Amino acid sequence: ATKWEHMELHDLPIRDDLRGRTPYGAPQIDVPVRLNTNENPYPPSKALVDDLAEEVRREAAGLNRYPDREADALRAELAGHLGHGLGAGQVWAANGSNEVLQQILQAFGGYGRTALGFEPSYSMHPIITTGTSTEWISGAREDDFSLDPAKAAAAVEEHRPDIVFLTSPNNPTGTALPLGTITRVLEAARGMVVVDEAYFEFAREGTPSALSLLPEHPRLIVTRTMSKAFAMAGTRVGYLAAHPAVIEALLLVRLPYHLSTLTQAAARVALRHRAELLGTVDDLRRERDATVSWLRARGLTVADSDANFVLFGRFPERRAVWEGLLARGVLIREVGPPEWLRVSIGTGEEMAAFRAAMEGVL
């Protein structure tokens, strides 16, 4: 025991605007069925693991040196993966799309500036916003979680935010946005517009990506991640596509050598195996649609989903349902508007366990 044993957070001279805040906190609980953080349930194949081990061995010999600071090779390969005629100069990568978003806020937000998002949406958008001393403005979605294009444009015109967040498909509701809505917001916005497409690969057939709007909209930023469809959450790689000038802005705030040699190598190996990794998406979509139907057949309310999770309800005591599932070895997420719960889509076996646990709880 030291004499400082009883010191607490509020005794420290932390920033006034951080006092009373709670950190991001999806519980990490060791249970048999983990359906709470929208990970891809399929682990990498032996071929990928072997390839990665080989690559790490090769890179390990040079770890006395700093990594490729601009991650040129990885960015070129990510650009090739995205298509739409993009090149390395229009792509940027960092440690998860969370870091990409933080760099955007550092460059375009900050003290005296504002960011607007339409809630319910991804909880890290306001956390990263306020963490960079940017003011958060909460816009609203409709009762069915869609975004009314006219109302969204009006909110942007009223508040004139420096940054607008559009999440498509949206977390935690699963709602994708039509391009027309994104275009309306782009036309109304004076600042940067970030379309967070973390779950884009899971969208239903024919859903267009905001990437197609980049040539006409120099202030548009589209973010993606290797954490979801790519099944590489542990690697921590997120990326974005935008005008090259936007990437020049991000270079001003990024830490030098932010993306480790091993991270860059792992991401490049994953890209080489992308047919296998993205090959899980069809199964997950099927499992998602089956989950939506199953929950609806039980009389529950379920939001349409274009993602690898489903928001369902409504439970006046959602905590009890969440706990009942946990007691049966199934961890889902207590998130989103009151009375709703979110389940990530797992393997067929995991979803069978979820259904069995739900039968028990209901």
**Which parts of this chain interact with ligand PMP (CB under 6 A)?**
38, 96-98, 122, 167, 171, 196, 198, 225, 227, 233, 238
CB-nearest residue to ligand PMP? 96
Shortest reach from residue 146's CB to ligand PMP, in Å: 17
Handedness of CA 312, 315, 319, 321 (dihedral sign): negative
Which of 331/358 has CB closer to ligand PMP?
A: 331
Q: Which amino acid, one-letter code, is at 130? A: T
**Which is nearer to ligand PMP, 122 or 145 (by Cβ)?**
122
Closer Cβ to ligand PMP, 122 or 202, answer by number: 122
Q: Say which residues have a Cβ less than 8 Å from residue 61's Cβ, sequence separation at least 6.
A: none
Q: What are the E-state strand segments in 192-254?
A: 192-196, 220-225, 238-241
Identify the helix (H) or strand (E) that includes residue 360. Answer: helix 348-361
∠ CA 303-180-311 to the nearest 5 degrees? 10
Dist CA 157 CA 112 (whole Å) = 18
**From the CB of 206, what's the least distance to ligand PMP, in Å?**
21
Query: Rounded to the nearest whole angstrom, what is the least distance from the CB of residue 238 to ligand PMP in the complex?
Result: 4
Residues in contact with 45: Cβ distance below 8 Å, sequence separation at least 6, in sequence order:
273, 276
Q: Which of 161, 153, 213 is nearest to 184 (CA)?
A: 153
Between 265 and 358, CB nearer to ligand PMP: 265
To ligand PMP, the closest distance from the beta carbon of 95 in angstroms equals 8
Tell me the closest approach of the beta carbon of residue 201 to ligand PMP, in angstroms. Answer: 13
Q: 120 or 238: whose CB is closer to ligand PMP?
A: 238
